[in-house]
Structure 1
Amino acid sequence: MLELKGVGKSFVNSGTVHEVLRDIDITVHDGEFVSIIGPSGSGKTTLFQLIGGLMPLDTGEIWLDGQNISGKRGHIAYMPQQASLLPWYTVKRNVALALQLAGADKKDALQQAEQWLERVGLGEYSAAYPYKLSGGMSQRVSFLRALLSPQKLMLLDEPFGALDALTRLHMQQWLLSIWEQNRRSVLLVTHSIDEALLLSDRIMVLSSHPATVINEIIVPFDRPRSSELWSSAIFNELKQSIYEQLQAPGAG
C-alpha cells in the first residue's frame, strides 16, 4: 500500500518561493487503480517525482508497504508520457530489459518478453526496432515494460496524452484488459475526466497552486468496464461534477 502523508513541495525562482504542493494525503491500496486529476500546472508530475525519489520532500512522508521511502529510488515502476524506448534495441530486448534489471538472466528475459508480446498482440513486431512502431504500439511496449518490472506499484504519467482520440480509446480499453489480468497497484495522472472514470477505482481531484486534494471520488462502476459507460447517466453526472470542481474558484 502507498501512503502519502502531508506531502508538500515548494520551489524558489528568482528569490520568490512558489508553493506547488500542500498537505497532500493519498492512499493506494494493493491492487487498486487510483487516478489524480487537476488543472494544468497543478503539480501532478512533481508529485510523481517525489514518489519516485527524484527530489526531496519539503514536508510530509511517503510510505510503501510499511516502509518510509521518502527520497528513495527504485521502489516504483514508471510509465512516462513518451514511450522512451531504447532505439538501438529491438522491441523484444526493450521489454526484456525490465526483467534483466530485476535479476532475470538474458535468455529467460527474452523468452518471457516474446511470450508477453504475443499476449498483447505485438508478437510480429518482436524483432522490429522502435522507429517502426506507431504511437499506440510504442505505448503498449512501454506499459508492458513497466508491468514486468518487479515493483508492485506502477505510476502512469499521462501515458496516452500524445495519442489521437481513437487510438487513446483503444489504448484505454487495452490497458484495462491487461490490468484486469494482473491487478497491480496503479496511480495514474491524467487530464481526461473520461479516462479517469473509465479506468479508476477512486479519483483524487486536485486544486491549482498550491495543489491540495479537494475531493476524493469513489467510482461506482463494476469491473470489468466497457465503453458503454460513456452513455450512462451516472457516468455523465460524475463527469459534470468533476468538471465543475475543476472550474470552481481556487481549483483552476
Structure 2
Amino acid sequence: MSTSALELKDIYKSFDSGSKQVLDGLSFTVAENEFVSIIGPSGSGKTTLFQLIGGLEKPTSGEVWISGKPTTGSRGHIAYMPQQASLMPWRSVAANIELALQVAGVERKASGIAAREWLDRIGLLEYADSYPHVLSGGMQQRVSFLRALLSPQPLMLLDEPFGALDALTRQQMQRWLMEIWEQNKRSVLLVTHSIEEALLLSDRIMVLSSAPAVLLEEIEVPFARPRSPQLWKEPLFNELKQQIQDLLQ
C-alpha cells in the first residue's frame, strides 16, 4: 500500500487558553501525486491549518503525518508557495531557481544549467539574468511555483497563490499551473477562495465550515486529465460549483 503524502489525524486547534476554537477534529489525506484543494469561508482556519502542516504551530490535539512519518510540530517537510511571490530580490531570477535546486542536492554547475532549462520551459529564459522586480506579478508567481516544484520536499502547500493577481492574469496562471503540474506531478494542497479554481485544478476538494472548522464535504472532481480549458462550460462543472456554493452558505 502506498504511503499518503499527507495525513491529518483528528486535528484540533484552539487559541487564547482554549477559548477560541479554530479547528474541530479535521482528518483527511493527500495521496502521492494528488492535487487537493481546501475551500472555506474567510476565518475558517485555513491559514492555521497550513501553519500546523508546516510545523510552525502545534495542534491542541491530533497528529500530522507526512510521507508516512509523524511530523507534528516539526519543520522542513513541505515546499511552500505563498500569495506573494517572496523571491529573493538581491538574486537574479536564475539564481532564485538555482538555490532551490542546490537545496534539493543538485551540484552548483548542474543547477545553473538546469535553472535555465526550466526557465526556458516556463517561457522566462530571457529574464534569467534579470532581478525579480522587473517581472510582472504573474511572472513572479511562475518563478515562485517553479522554486516550490523543484524543492526536495514531496508535499507542496499553495496558499492562495493567485489571489493578488487580476482576473485575466489569474486565469492564465491557473491554466499554466495545471499544464506544468500535469507534466511534473507532485502532491499538492491548495488553499483557495475560488470554487472555479478548485474545480479546474483539483482531484478532490475539501469544503470546510466556518470556525471552528469541520470538514463539511469531500468532493471527488470527476473531470479527466488533461483538463480542458473550456471545462467551465460543462453542465456538471456548474452543478458542482452550485453544490459547493450551497455548502458555504
Measured against the shorter chain, the TM-score band is over 0.9
Q: What SS does the aligned partner of 1:227 have? A: coil
SS of residue matched to 1:150: coil
- AA at the equivalent of 1:126: A
Question: More displaced, 78-87 or 57-66?
Answer: 57-66
| Contact kept in structure 2, 1:173 and 1:226, CA below 8 Å | no
Shift of 1:103: 2.6
Inter-partner Cα distance in structure 1 for 2:104 and 2:229: 35
Q: Residue 37 of structure 1 aligns with which residue?
A: 39
- How far is the alpha carbon of 1:114 from its aligned partner? 0.8
CA distance in 2, matches of 1:63, 1:75: 10
User: Quick one: which of 2, 8, 29 aligns to 1:4?
Assistant: 8
* Letter of the 2:197 counterpart: E
- Quote how far apart the aligned CAs of 1:16 are: 7.1
User: Alpha-carbon deviations, 1:1-20, whole Å to 9, x = none?
Assistant: 210010111111xx772111
Q: Which residue of 2 aligns with 1:135?
A: 137
Which residue among 162, 166, 176 is the counterpart of 1:174? 176
Q: Which residue of 1 aligns with 2:87?
A: 85
Within 2, Cα distance between the matches of 1:16 and 1:49? 18
Q: 1:238-249 counterparts in 2 under 5 A? A: 238-247=240-249
Over aligned residues, Cα RMSD in angstroms? 1.0
Equivalenced residues, count: 245
Cα 1:54–1:16 shift into 2, 3 Å:
closer
Gaps of 5+ in 2: none
Q: Does structure 1 residue 76 correspond to structure 2 residue 82? A: no
2:99 corresponds in structure 1 to 97
Amino-acid identity (%): 66
CA contact (8 A) 2:138 2:165 kept: yes
Amino acid at match of 2:143: V
The aligned runs of 1:18-57 (5 Å cut-off) are: 18-57=20-59
- Aligned partners of 1:139 and 1:222: how far apart in 2? 26
Runs of 4+ in 1 over 6 A off after TM superposition: none
> What is the CA-CA distance between 1:105 and the residue it aligns to?
2.5
Gaps of 5+ in 1: 248-252
